[in-house]
């Protein structure tokens, strides 16, 4: 699965920061994972965040990691714009 892709606006254009950096989906997920309260699967969530933070292309994601990402997307802590783009990739991954 490749989550190291840029977040796009509603026109499909990649969103960049004022200094020209892409907002990578993988880094957005990683930052949200470590910003959550420590409730369950803390170590697994931390390790997933570390893996996503350095991802530069295709990475292997386990089924339990997919579920963590899906729950994060559906938990109401991110915008629909961000969560929908992540869920499209996660749901289409084999």
DSSP secondary structure code for residue 57 in this structure: S
Report the residue count for the chain: 94
Model confidence, pTM = 0.90
**pLDDT for the residue 41:** 85
For residue 93, tell me if it sits in a domain: no
Structure tokens at 77: 């802590």
Which pair of tokens denotes residue 31?
């930052």
In this predicted structure, what is the pLDDT of residue 36? 80
Measured distance between the N- and C-terminal CA atoms of the chain, rounded to whole angstroms: 8
Which tokens go with 85? 């783009």
Range(s) of the domain holding residue 1: 1-88
CA 10 from chain center: how many Å?
A: 18
The answer as to whether 45 is a domain residue is: yes
How do residues 8-52 score in pLDDT, each as one tens digit? 999 999 999 999 999 999 999 999 999 988 788 899 999 999 999
Domain tally for the chain? 1
Q: Is 84 within a domain?
A: yes
- pLDDT digits over 67-78, tens only? 999 999 998 889
- pLDDT score, position 38: 78
């Amino acid at each position: 699965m490749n989550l190291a892709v840029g977040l796009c606006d509603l026109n499909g254009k990649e969103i960049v920061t004022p200094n020209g950096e892409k907002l990578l989906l993988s880094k957005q997920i990683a930052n949200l994972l470590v910003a959550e309260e420590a409730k369950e699967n803390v170590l697994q969530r931390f390790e997933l965040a570390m893996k996503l933070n350095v991802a530069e292309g295709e990475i292997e994601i386990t089924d339990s990691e997919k579920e963590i990402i899906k729950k994060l997307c559906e938990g109401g802590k991110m915008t629909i714009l961000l969560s929908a783009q992540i869920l499209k990739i996660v749901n289409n991954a084999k």
